[in-house]
């Protein structure tokens, strides 16, 4: 019989996934809006929109990071397979790459660097989601 309840575990995973939705989902939205923002012909509008996204994206990344550490304390890591640890390790590296690439993307003034790091951060975040579900539903 499948049951449902809202426990502290539910809140932990809810906050982890919600913050990830903002971090990665927001990048999908920014990508979709960019051509429209550029086409509006308003000087600096894409940059203003990107800065507005950053004001929610970085707090979301921080919440994903801290709930991730909380996750580690709640998962009995001593009782996991080598494969679980390897997938967690790769996911953690991708999370760090996602954050670092997004930061370089935000501060760089070179279009080539901005483009490359924007793509890298985006893809790293998406693969981190897949590996996150591999950890919990694998």
Lookup: tokens for 71? 């996750």
DSSP 68: H
With binding defined as CB under 6 A, does residue 127 bind ligand HEM? Answer: no
C-alpha atoms less than 13 angstroms from C-alpha of 104 in its C-beta half-sphere: 18
Given the complex with ligand HEM, which of 35 and 138 has the nearer CB atom? Answer: 138
The dihedral over CA atoms of 41, 46, 49, 51, expressed in degrees to the nearest 10, equals -140
Sorted by sequence, the CB contacts under 8 Å of residue 89 that are 6+ apart come out as: none
Given the complex with ligand HEM, which of 35 and 59 has the nearer CB atom? Answer: 59
Report how many residues bind ligand HEM under the rule CB under 6 A: 25
Stretch that binds ligand HEM, among 28-36, 46-54, 61-69, 102-110 (CB under 6 A): 61-69
With binding defined as CB under 6 A, does residue 46 bind ligand HEM? Answer: no
With binding defined as CB under 6 A, does residue 75 bind ligand HEM? Answer: yes
Q: How many CB atoms lie within 10 A of CB 67?
A: 20
Residues forming contacts to ligand HEM in the complex (CB under 6 A) are 13, 16-17, 20, 23-24, 64-65, 68-69, 71-72, 74-75, 92, 95, 98, 125, 128-129, 132-133, 135-137
């Amino acid at each position: 019989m499948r049951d449902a309840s809202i426990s502290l575990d539910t809140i932990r995973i809810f906050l982890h996934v919600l913050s990830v939705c903002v971090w990665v989902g927001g990048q999908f939205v920014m990508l979709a809006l960019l051509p429209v923002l550029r086409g509006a012909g308003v000087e600096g509008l894409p940059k203003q929109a990107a800065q507005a996204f950053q004001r929610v994206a970085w707090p979301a990344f921080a919440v994903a990071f801290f709930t991730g550490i909380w996750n580690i304390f709640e998962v009995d890591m001593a009782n996991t397979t080598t494969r679980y640890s390897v997938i967690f390790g790769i996911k953690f590296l991708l999370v760090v790459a996602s954050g670092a690439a997004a930061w370089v993307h935000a501060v760089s003034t070179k279009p080539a660097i901005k483009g490359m790091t924007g793509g890298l951060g985006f893809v790293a975040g998406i693969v981190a989601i897949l590996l996150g579900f591999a950890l919990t539903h694998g």
